[in-house]
Amino acid sequence: MPQLIKVGMADLNIALYPDVLTTIGLGSCVGIALYDKINKIGGLAHIMLPSSKDIKNNSNKAKFADTAIVSLLTMMLENKADKKNIVCKLAGGAQMFALKNGSGNNDILNIGVRNVAAVKKVLEELKIPIIAEDTGGNFGRTIELYTEDGGLMVKTIGHGTKII
């Protein structure tokens, strides 16, 4: 019987087959699902901010794109994942607050877009391919990563459920 492993906000974890990883409440946050298809090892991070370098109290590595992905990859490799087999799927990065006229460059309100860009930059540096994503929009998401096949179920209110 597969175990459902919950990943909170600013949190990360890994799972071995047949377990399932899940996180709820992805608004401007980004869910990063890493998967080794040969060894059936999954990893899930729920990041809130693009960079740990912008924040003074940044001891929680899972909170930031630049540190969470590296930590998650390290955990997977320590549990017999092979980096050459790892692929990524992304969800989240929504624009949850309406931008007022003339404030289109407000980085604080544009956090979802900045989070997605930061995640993609780190993945590119680590040479981990993104094979699917469900990002942007103005709605929240809940995701589940299945270690059986790497499927990522994305549930939304008003936009249905799909597997990417």
The residues that are catalytic are 29
Angle at 68 between CA 79 and CA 140, to 5 degrees: 110
68-88: b (≥16 Cβ within 10 Å) or e: bbeebbebbeeeebeeeebbb
CA 41 to chain centre: 15
Instruction: Sort strands 41-47 and 20-26 into parallel, antiparallel or unpaired.
Output: unpaired
Q: Which of 89, 142, 143 is closest to 116 using CA atoms? A: 89
